[in-house]
Amino acid sequence: MSKLTFLILFLISIECLSQKFNGGFIAGVSTSQVSGDNLGGYNKAGLNIGVFTQYPLSSISNIKMEMTLIQKGSNNPKMNKNNIPDISTSYIEIPISVNYFQYDQLSLETGLSTGFLVNSSENDINGLINNENTRPFHKIDFGAIIGLNYFFINYLNNRIFLNTRLGNSIIPIRSHASNATYLFNKGQYNTVLSFSINYLL
């Protein structure tokens, strides 16, 4: 096979592959908590915005990759009583999921996500805590995700769909205050419940 023929076939294959990819935008909110911080409840609200691309694996499944800015952490509604600090973190997150279309209007998703820490802070009853007096957060938050997508018409003829997702860290985001570990509990972990609107271009 000549180099020219190979180049032509290669370019044709790339063009055919690229036609199968599509993508769009994500806009939504997150509610989160941090296990191991002596607080409970999804009391921390934040943003979840970004872009996504997806590629069909079969007529009823695809693989989806996202890049989002997501806010996580915990909020203490009883700060005046126990003075347990709030936690605020922001990540550039890259979830990769496999989506299975069980019904025309509903698909299930499962996958993994990698978050890269953008910023973090803690607040107590006196306000912002100096970073020198807090334990550092790990730069990467690696976790697992599971969720549902709902299509208003069906997944073949609908450009807008709703996503509901539960995500949880697999590795700790930082150590416990005591630096103690307990079997599988190696530190503090993010748990996030997010709701978003996805718009397919």
Evaluate whether residue 84 is within a structural domain: yes
Q: Which of 113, 118, 114, 116 is nearest to 90 (CA)?
A: 118
What is the domain count for the chain?
Answer: 1
What lies within 8 Å, CB to CB, of 38 at 6+ separation is 82, 84
CATH number at residue 119: 2.40.160.20
Name the residue range of residue 74's domain: 22-200
Evaluate whether residue 176 is within a structural domain: yes
What lies within 8 Å, CB to CB, of 59 at 6+ separation is none
Confidence (pLDDT) at 36: 87
Evaluate whether residue 42 is within a structural domain: yes
Question: Per residue in 4-30, pLDDT tens?
Answer: 565 555 444 444 445 578 889 999 999
Evaluate whether residue 173 is within a structural domain: yes
Question: Per residue in 96-125, pLDDT tens?
Answer: 999 999 888 899 999 999 999 999 999 988
Evaluate whether residue 5 is within a structural domain: no
**79 vs 2, residue with greater confidence:** 79
Evaluate whether residue 127 is within a structural domain: yes
Evaluate whether residue 79 is within a structural domain: yes
Residue 36, helix vs strand vs coil = coil
Evaluate whether residue 141 is within a structural domain: yes
